[in-house]
Structure 1
Amino acid sequence: MTSTMQHVPLGIRRLLEHAVTVYADQKLFTAQPGGDLTEATFAETGANAARLAHALVELGVGQGDRVATLMWNNQEHVEAYYAVPAMGAVLHPLNLRLPGEQIAFVANHAEDKVVIVDHTLLAPVSALLPALKTIEHVIVNSPAGADTDLAAVSAAAGREIGVHDYAQLIAGRPGEFDWPETDENAAAAMCYTSGTTGDPKGVVYSHRSIFLHSMAAVGPAMMGLSQSDRVLAIVPQFHVLAWGLPYIAFYSGVELVLPGPFLQPEPLARMIEKTRLNRASGVPTIWQGLLAHLEANPDIDVSSLKEAVVGGSACPPALMEAYDRLGITLLHAYGMTETSPMVTVARPPAGLTPEQAWPYRLTQGRFVANVAARLVGADGSVLPWDGVSAGELELRGPWIAGGYYGVDDEDKFHDGWLRTGDVGHISPEGYLTLTDRAKDVIKSGGEWISSVQLENLLMAHPAVAEASVIGVPDERWGERPLALVVPRSGAEVSFIELREFLADKIARWQVPERWAVISEVPKTSVGKFDKKRLREQYALGELEPELVSSH
């Protein structure tokens, strides 16, 4: 027996058509130099997406062709988010923080045909053009009145290539497009992993996976968004499609504030104050910097902001407590490029006091419907959800990757499950707690030490701004933790004091005896602590630990 329901493919075009009619007057705000903000309605954004689609067809872009973007979070980037997949091509946001050689590798591997680039990024793109073998056209997004030398871009390529101004290219074209009925399982967009180990790998999202992810993400158990919300989208559009926010917005009518390249604490604080936004998303390092700015400038009114989703890496509890005092809830979420990314959000069960809810907030959160999870032990056995048994997290679901584009990686995918490389445990109620990355767990004397736990405890000390912990070789124990701390401005750190601070909270054998002060913790292209770089620095002798006491 089959259903009597109509078969209507889930597609990006339907998100677009819905938004430009039902939510036509909802707005996107884009930050400009000097603190100004430009505004565009969803209807205006949709009309420009249609104009861009007409232009891309004229440039020879067809079904399945890849259109890359190298752009900040702005209105034109959102227009590309809709024009490209809705016309049947594939959107490919390039990570502008990757090294040039990795950007070239990714663009060539994806066989990008066109790249849309912000004018502020034109110089590095021009330098890379000779290495971008498949690019046929460059579209430059320049502000009105900008004197952009398009001829110089063409000359830099060293071959015949089309170079166009974005505004001029779409000007005068129809604001409507006959969007094709695309197979919902066809590719809509692709992002590459950050390449911290080996070459970046491509994850291809389908129209269906993006649509279902948007439906789930707006739900009350996840982001809990509606047309009454205005969200500051700090997470870059090149990072897992800005956690899906441009698609979530058009699905639910959420208004977006797009910060462009202005990601420093001062302009972000002013955006919150000026737009009276109530929600936000970003990695912990953004919130660390903003907190320091708000504490130094208490006159800035950010009282409209009530909740911010924090992902990318674990949020230090001390940071969550500091924002609680400002009336802002930092909400843990978990995901990765391979998971679209939403997997869990740490909303506590209903009816709890703040004290009772606190332990739930410190987890990575509860699994959303349609994401199946299991923990696998070192011996390959599947472990129970008892809040104690720790193993590697594996996932599957309609927006979870089942492979990489053009690359076989049997170690990452098996039995239809994605191996996340994250180690943790799951409570009987379905709350995930990650204790470390599998590659970052410190194996000391046959026991595991969680580097994440040590980092969170250290960052709760009033003298510590940031801390990262890595495992280093030890003749007796195999590995021991090396604690690298960044002092707060004007503060002095005492390693003996920090050791005693930790000894009150964890077993003494887990307390590091190797310590060093560093000026900052290196970050990956998506804002995570770059422990690979720290391990390299240690191996090269660039870090000089102080041995505070014997173990």
Structure 2
Amino acid sequence: MRSTMMDVPLMVSSILRHAALYHGDTEIVSRTVEGPLHRTTYAKTWKRSQQLANALAALGLGRGDRVGTLAWNGYRHLEIYYGASGAGHVCHTINPRLFPDQIAYIINHAGDRVLFVELSFVDLLESIADRLTGVEAIVVMTDAAHMPASRRLPALLCYEDLLAAQPDRFDWLQLDENEAAAMCYTSGTTGDPKGVLYSHRSIVLHAMAVCMPDVFALGAGSVAMPVVPMFHVNAWGLPYAAALVGAKLVLPGSKLDGASLHELIIAEEVSFTAGVPTIWMALLDWVAANDVSFGSLKRVAVGGSACPPAMFARFRDHGVEVLHAWGMTETSPVGLANSPKPNRPTRRPDEEVALSTKQGRPLFGMEFRVVGADGTEIAHDGVAFGNMQVRGPWVAAGYFGDERAAVHATPGWFETGDVVTMDADGYVQIVDRSKDVIKSGGEWISSIDLENIAIAHPAVQEAAVVAHPDERWSERPLLVVVRRPGSALTEREILAHYEGKVARWWIPDHAIFVDELPHTATGKLLKARIREIYSKPSPV
């Protein structure tokens, strides 16, 4: 028997329509590449998104065509998010921090017909212009006064002129909610990057889920500032989630240094923000150096890589709550969020810290399991560990251009590549990436745990732990450290810092000091490169 409920599809355009109708005067504030802050509203964004949709139709785009973007977090990028998807196209956000060869590969593999490019990235696009075989138009996201000249790119179009020529009403297509609306490629640390297509349905469901109180806790009274880039997994869904509840949106553009972020937090009364640990470490250092507060900031979401316990403590000292979260490009991305459960026994402060540093509990809609080497589920006791698998309505079942390729060893489950524990309350803790775990004398050592201990030392700016070949034990942990400016930290001092914190056989045999560590395009430590550099039999 069918229900008597209306069959109304979940559409990305409906999110912005709702925001325009019922939160129309709520502000969207952006830093611009041109210089000044830009202020608009959801009502104005709704109209300009329709102008953009008409412009794409005038350029000859059809249903399912890909629209590429090379852009920061800003109001024009937000208009493309909604205008392209609502018109039946696929908004393909491209990470400009990737290598040029990877960017060219991604644009061609995706089949982007039109590219929207920020002024910051015109030179980058020029460097690969001769390899962009399918691109028919390039639109620079600026006004006529700031249009650049280009010798290598075909006739560039001006974003503001393009919109000005179009009406602000568009008849949104009646789409199947399972049609693709957005696209993002994995960072491609091994092999070529792979494209993940997000549906209208998956985006809306994900946006609803992350607004929940135990996740980002967003509402109409929130002021949300996604520092995580809009070119990285849709800024963790925040451009959709903020509009869904009518929250004020603050978009920081290209200025992600501590001073610039703090200025926006104070001036715009930001209450919630989200980003990767490297960004927050720099912000915390700037706040400490200038002896200032975080003003109205209440909550910071940390993801992308494990949040060190020391970072939790530093934010807590400022009265800011840290929400640890986990996700992947293939999971839209948020799948786990760490909010406390009520009515649990009182814990010691160190136990509370240990719990808060776990990746969190599954969001509704996401199903997780942890399996051993034989494929059977392990005990949820917080001790036994195994490989994490996940499934749900915003988890990828395949990749663009290779939809039938197995993304899972077990049918119906996505293999995350994380080695984890899960306790009886559902809290998941990542022990390591399966490719980063250190196996010494037949026993596993967590590189993440060792890195967190190192980062807690006041003289350490950043640290990585990788497996190093060892004739006796097969592998031993090697610590690679970036000292804080002015520090004279020695190898003996940093290794002594581990005493009493882990088993003695876990303690690295050696520490190496370097000026900087390599990172992926999304800010994570590039462990593969670090292992490659230090793969010689003797580290010293």
TM-score if structure 2 supplies the norm length? 0.96
The equivalent residue for 1:288 is: 281
CA distance in 2, matches of 1:86, 1:413: 35
The equivalent residue for 2:262 is: 269
The equivalent residue for 1:452 is: 448
Matched residue type, 1:438: S
Which of 287, 309, 314 aligns to 1:317? It is 309
2:341 maps to 1:360: no
State the Cα distance separating 1:489 from its structure 2 match: 1.7
CA distance in 1, matches of 2:71, 2:324: 27
Tell me whether 9-18 or 490-499 shows the greater mean CA deviation.
Answer: 490-499
Which of 178, 187, 197 aligns to 1:185? It is 178
Matched residue type, 2:397: G
Question: Contact 2:147 / 2:158 at 8 angstroms: preserved in 1?
Answer: no
The equivalent residue for 1:72 is: 72
Question: Contact 1:348 / 1:357 at 8 angstroms: preserved in 2?
Answer: no
CA distance in 1, matches of 2:425, 2:376: 21
State the Cα distance separating 1:441 from its structure 2 match: 0.2
- Root-mean-square deviation over aligned CA pairs: 1.7
State the Cα distance separating 1:500 from its structure 2 match: 2.2
CA distance in 1, matches of 2:194, 2:417: 15
2:387 maps to 1:395: no
CA distance in 2, matches of 1:309, 1:193: 21
CA distance in 2, matches of 1:505, 1:121: 46
The equivalent residue for 2:539 is: 545
Tell me whether 100-109 or 499-508 shows the greater mean CA deviation.
Answer: 499-508
2:322 maps to 1:341: no
The equivalent residue for 1:486 is: 482
Mapping for residues 20-35 of structure 1, pairs under 5 Å: 20-32=20-32
Question: Contact 1:516 / 1:544 at 8 angstroms: preserved in 2?
Answer: no
The equivalent residue for 1:86 is: 86
Matched residue type, 1:258: L
Matched residue type, 2:463: A
Question: Contact 1:468 / 1:483 at 8 angstroms: preserved in 2?
Answer: yes
CA distance in 1, matches of 2:4, 2:262: 52
Q: Which runs of 5 or more residues in structure 1 are unaligned?
A: 547-551
State the Cα distance separating 1:378 from its structure 2 match: 1.2
Question: Contact 1:142 / 1:148 at 8 angstroms: preserved in 2?
Answer: no
Mapping for residues 414-493 of structure 1, pairs under 5 Å: 414-493=410-489
CA distance in 1, matches of 2:493, 2:352: 31
CA distance in 2, matches of 1:377, 1:169: 55
Residues 517-536 of structure 1: per-residue CA shift (max 9 Å, x gap): 01122111111111111112
CA distance in 1, matches of 2:394, 2:96: 25
In 2 relative to 1, CA 116–147 (structure 1 residues): closer, same or farther, beyond 3 Å?
closer
In 2 relative to 1, CA 274–544 (structure 1 residues): closer, same or farther, beyond 3 Å?
farther
State the Cα distance separating 1:143 from its structure 2 match: 4.7
Residues 369-422 of structure 1: per-residue CA shift (max 9 Å, x gap): 110011111122221222122001000000011111113543645311000000
In 2 relative to 1, CA 170–411 (structure 1 residues): closer, same or farther, beyond 3 Å?
closer
State the Cα distance separating 1:36 from its structure 2 match: 4.0
CA distance in 2, matches of 1:247, 1:522: 32
2:247 maps to 1:254: yes
SS at match of 2:497: helix
CA distance in 2, matches of 1:166, 1:462: 47
Residues 242-264 of structure 1: per-residue CA shift (max 9 Å, x gap): 00111111111111111111111
State the Cα distance separating 1:437 from its structure 2 match: 0.1
CA distance in 2, matches of 1:442, 1:279: 36
CA distance in 2, matches of 1:545, 1:29: 49
State the Cα distance separating 1:7 from its structure 2 match: 0.3
CA distance in 1, matches of 2:378, 2:28: 45
CA distance in 2, matches of 1:520, 1:127: 27
Question: Contact 1:307 / 1:329 at 8 angstroms: preserved in 2?
Answer: yes
Question: Contact 2:33 / 2:254 at 8 angstroms: preserved in 1?
Answer: no
The equivalent residue for 1:376 is: 371
2:294 maps to 1:326: no
State the Cα distance separating 1:172 from its structure 2 match: 4.0
Question: Contact 2:62 / 2:88 at 8 angstroms: preserved in 1?
Answer: yes
CA distance in 1, matches of 2:380, 2:343: 23
CA distance in 2, matches of 1:372, 1:33: 41
Tell me whether 409-418 or 352-361 shows the greater mean CA deviation.
Answer: 352-361
CA distance in 2, matches of 1:148, 1:34: 12
CA distance in 1, matches of 2:295, 2:42: 26
CA distance in 1, matches of 2:289, 2:69: 36
The equivalent residue for 2:41 is: 41
Matched residue type, 1:120: S
CA distance in 1, matches of 2:168, 2:330: 34
In 2 relative to 1, CA 413–93 (structure 1 residues): closer, same or farther, beyond 3 Å?
farther
2:518 maps to 1:522: yes
In 2 relative to 1, CA 544–488 (structure 1 residues): closer, same or farther, beyond 3 Å?
farther
The equivalent residue for 1:549 is: none
State the Cα distance separating 1:358 from its structure 2 match: 3.1
Could you tell me the percent identity over the aligned residues? 44
The equivalent residue for 1:350 is: 342
Residues 285-326 of structure 1: per-residue CA shift (max 9 Å, x gap): 00000111111111x442211111000000100111011111
The equivalent residue for 1:200 is: 193
Question: Contact 1:277 / 1:304 at 8 angstroms: preserved in 2?
Answer: yes
CA distance in 2, matches of 1:48, 1:301: 37
CA distance in 2, matches of 1:32, 1:403: 36
2:525 maps to 1:533: no
Question: Contact 2:287 / 2:293 at 8 angstroms: preserved in 1?
Answer: no
Question: Contact 1:349 / 1:357 at 8 angstroms: preserved in 2?
Answer: no
State the Cα distance separating 1:147 from its structure 2 match: 4.3
CA distance in 1, matches of 2:520, 2:186: 11
State the Cα distance separating 1:14 from its structure 2 match: 1.0
CA distance in 2, matches of 1:545, 1:144: 56
SS at match of 2:417: strand
TM-score if structure 1 supplies the norm length? 0.94
Tell me whether 441-450 or 29-38 shows the greater mean CA deviation.
Answer: 29-38
Matched residue type, 2:389: E
SS at match of 1:246: helix
